[in-house]
Amino acid sequence: MYKEYLTVSNIVGPLLIVEKIREVKYGELVEIETAAGLLRRGTVLDVSTERAVVQVFEGTVGLDVDRSRVRFLGRSQTLGVSEEIIGRVFDGSGRPKDGGPQIIAKKQLEISGNPINPDARDYPSEFIETGISSIDGMNPLVRGQKLPLFSGSGLPHARIAAQIARQAKVLGKKEKFAVVFGAMGITFEEANFFIEDFRNTGALERAVLFLNLANEPPIERIATPRLALTCAEYLAFELDMHVLVILVDMTFYAEALREISAARKEIPGRRGYPGYLYTDLASMYERAGRIKGKTGSITLIPILTMPEDDKTHPIADLTGYITEGQIMLSRELHRKGIYPPIDVLPSLSRLKDKGIGAGKTREDHADVLNQIFACYARGKEARELALILGEASLSDLDKLYLEFSDAFETEFVRQSEFDARSVIETLEIGWRLLRLIPRAELKRIRLEYLDRYYYERNK
């Protein structure tokens, strides 16, 4: 029934070249039987009349040219879904990993997915309260947004992501909610941290996990996030759930992609990553969102560790060009012992504007956050100046800004891992700090809000 071939001519890195093929299609799923009778899977990356280039998910270690049997399955990679998928753990290729049975699929969904018609998108506008001031106050997340954590090795991104997953809620609502977790190349310990955290908070029953760990085949990582997102689309747009997707670590994903590209001898783009990395990442990140007329939503938090903390590294750079902002972690704050070490200045939430304000958070929110940004930026500038010329050389005003920015880091940004602050509390802390600065300096805040909130301490 399937076309089976014994005509492998070359094995290059993760790729197999199969000759004398017939009726093979681009993107087709492939099964490879090793000499020892073990099965591996792959997909067709390039096909011409004589040969096909197949990318093998589990890698080509142990495969040989003469005895590998290659079967073309006539379909592309799919994920079988039904309600039962909730609460399950899968490996990076979508096979059950929790000892449970196979899912009895109601539907087979192609994991590459189809692009959402831009005309069908509903603009994300519901504020998600994460309980973290530096996010809620300064770079608010909204439902259906894709907002990555830009981290570095050794920084507590896992704890922050877990805290968000634990605390996130939409004000005044109780709704069907799920977490989909995709792990690519992270360690057992890191994965286990998430699983334990989900277990402790009861989130595990509403979670679906796809795990490809550090010791598992790197090429499989190409499929893992797509499985997670396919699952999320099913939960969100067919089962009407609000889904939070966490993908960690996108850096390992991109490295797998680079490995394939190198094996195909493609012309490399920056730092050896293929020129289509942008498009490839976009085909995943853009699956987040809201659709008109649908209740559910997909909010996506990809996590990536920037090599050398360099945000111009292609993985971070291209991610930033696709996602709707970024939460940037700072080694400097981490060293100062501040948790969460979120540097608000280079962080950004592009969708905040429709998610905050009267009726959503509070009328003054936008102005307050703009003002804090300006003050903190100025305070940090003053801090630099003070380093060169000494604090005494600062003008009186700059001294106030310096005081402000120190207080901002220790009182506003810093909070405990289990502290879920309400957005109103966050704004109140903001005002308390802003009162350090003379009123006339607060140009980003409308007079009516200054009248309402600035003088409160004197009352």
Partner 1 sequence: MSQAKVIRVAGPLVVASGCSGAKMYDMVKIGQLGLIGEIIELREDQAFIQVYEDTTGIGPEEPVRLTGKPLSVELGPGLISSIYDGIQRPLDVIRSREGNFVTRGIELPAINREKKWDFIPVRKKGEAVAAGDILGEVEETALVRHKIMVPDDAGGRIKEIKGGKYTVEEVVARIETAAGLKEVRMIQTWSIRKQRNVNKRLMPDEPLTTGQRVLDTLFPLAKGGTACVPGPFGSGKTVVQHQLAKWSDAQIIVFVACGERGNEVADLLLSFPELKDPRTGRPLLERTVIIANTSNMPVAAREASIYTGMTIAEYFRDMGYSVALMADSSSRWAEALREISGRMEEMPGEEGYPAYLASRIAEFYERAGKVICLGSDERHAALSVIGAVSPPGGDLSDPVVQATLKVVKVFWALDDRLANMRHFPAINWLLSYSLYSENIKSFLKNKVAEDFSDLRQEAMLLLEEEAELREIARLVGVESLSAKERLILESARSIREDFLHQNAFHPQDTYTSMRKQYLMLRSILHFHHQGLRALEEGRTLESVLALKVRERISQMKYIAEEDAGLLGVYLEIDGSFKNLREGQE
Ligand X SMILES: Nc1ncnc2c1ncn2[C@@H]1O[C@H](COP(=O)(O)OP(=O)(O)OP(=O)(O)O)[C@@H](O)[C@H]1O
**Scanning residues 331 to 350, which ones bind ligand X (CB under 6 A)?**
348, 350
Q: Which is nearer to ligand X, 331 or 350 (CB)?
A: 350
**Residue 25 binding: pick among partner 1, ligand X, none (C-beta 5-8 Å cut-off by kind):** partner 1
Instruction: Compute how many residues bind ligand X; rule: CB under 6 A.
Output: 3
Q: Which is nearer to partner 1, 312 or 458 (CB)?
A: 312
Beta carbon of residue 417, minimum distance to partner 1 (angstroms, whole number): 27
**Residue 438 binding: pick among partner 1, ligand X, none (C-beta 5-8 Å cut-off by kind):** none
Q: Which is nearer to ligand X, 55 or 349 (CB)?
A: 349
Beta carbon of residue 279, minimum distance to ligand X (angstroms, whole number): 15
**Residue 100 binding: pick among partner 1, ligand X, none (C-beta 5-8 Å cut-off by kind):** none
DSSP 147: -
Beta carbon of residue 182, minimum distance to partner 1 (angstroms, whole number): 17
Q: Which is nearer to ligand X, 38 or 345 (CB)?
A: 345
Q: Which is nearer to partner 1, 62 or 74 (CB)?
A: 74
Residue 321 is a binding residue for ligand X (CB under 6 A): yes
Pick out residues in 206-265 that bind ligand X (CB under 6 A).
none
**The pair of three-digit structure tokens given for residue 223, joined into one six-digit string:** 């499929």
- Give the torsion sign (CA, 53, 58, 64, 67): negative
Phi, psi angles (nearest 5°) of residue 231: -60, -45
* Amino acid (one-letter) located at 70: V
Q: Which is nearer to ligand X, 265 or 270 (CB)?
A: 270
Beta carbon of residue 125, minimum distance to ligand X (angstroms, whole number): 14
Is omega for the bond preceding 340 within 30 degrees of 0, making it cis?
yes
**Residue 132 binding: pick among ligand X, partner 1, none (C-beta 5-8 Å cut-off by kind):** none
DSSP E strand boundaries for 141-255? 141-142, 149-151, 169-170, 177-186, 207-213, 242-248
Position with the least CB separation from ligand X: 350
Measured CA to CA, the distance from residue 452 to residue 447 in angstroms comes to 8
The packing angle between helices 365-389 and 396-407, to 10°, is 110
Q: Which is nearer to partner 1, 218 or 314 (CB)?
A: 314
**Residue 270 binding: pick among partner 1, ligand X, none (C-beta 5-8 Å cut-off by kind):** partner 1
Beta carbon of residue 287, minimum distance to ligand X (angstroms, whole number): 18
Measured CA to CA, the distance from residue 259 to residue 47 in angstroms comes to 19
CA distances from 358 to 24, 123, 140, 306, 389 (A): 58, 18, 15, 37, 44
Binding mask 349-368 for ligand X (x = CB under 6 A): -x------------------
Beta carbon of residue 143, minimum distance to ligand X (angstroms, whole number): 17
DSSP, collapsed to helix, strand or coil, labels residue 307 as helix
Beta carbon of residue 202, minimum distance to partner 1 (angstroms, whole number): 31
Per-residue b or e along 40-52, where b marks 16 or more CB atoms closer than 10 Å to that residue's CB: bbbbbbebeeebb
**Residue 294 binding: pick among ligand X, partner 1, none (C-beta 5-8 Å cut-off by kind):** partner 1
Q: Which is nearer to ligand X, 91 or 367 (CB)?
A: 367
Beta carbon of residue 263, minimum distance to ligand X (angstroms, whole number): 31
Q: Which is nearer to partner 1, 66 or 119 (CB)?
A: 119
Beta carbon of residue 21, minimum distance to partner 1 (angstroms, whole number): 8
Q: Note the maximum CA span of the chain.
A: 86
User: In what order do the strands lie in the sheet containing 3-5?
Assistant: 3-5, 69-72, 29-33
Q: Which is nearer to ligand X, 45 or 348 (CB)?
A: 348
429 CB neighbour count, 10 Å cutoff: 20
**The pair of three-digit structure tokens given for residue 118, joined into one six-digit string:** 């831009």
**Residue 458 binding: pick among partner 1, ligand X, none (C-beta 5-8 Å cut-off by kind):** none
**Residue 73 binding: pick among partner 1, ligand X, none (C-beta 5-8 Å cut-off by kind):** none
**Residue 188 binding: pick among partner 1, ligand X, none (C-beta 5-8 Å cut-off by kind):** none
Beta carbon of residue 323, minimum distance to ligand X (angstroms, whole number): 8
**Residue 269 binding: pick among ligand X, partner 1, none (C-beta 5-8 Å cut-off by kind):** partner 1
Beta carbon of residue 169, minimum distance to ligand X (angstroms, whole number): 24
Terminal alpha carbon distance of the chain: 83
Phi, psi angles (nearest 5°) of residue 116: -65, 130
DSSP, collapsed to helix, strand or coil, labels residue 148 as coil
Measured CA to CA, the distance from residue 53 to residue 314 in angstroms comes to 26
Beta bridge partners of 174: none
Q: Which is nearer to partner 1, 217 or 325 (CB)?
A: 325
**The pair of three-digit structure tokens given for residue 233, joined into one six-digit string:** 């689309």
**In this structure, are residues 413 and 333 in contact, taking their beta carbons and an 8 Å threshold?**
yes
CA distances from 14 to 45, 57, 123, 260, 356 (A): 11, 8, 40, 6, 47
Interface residues with ligand X (CB under 6 A) are 321, 348, 350
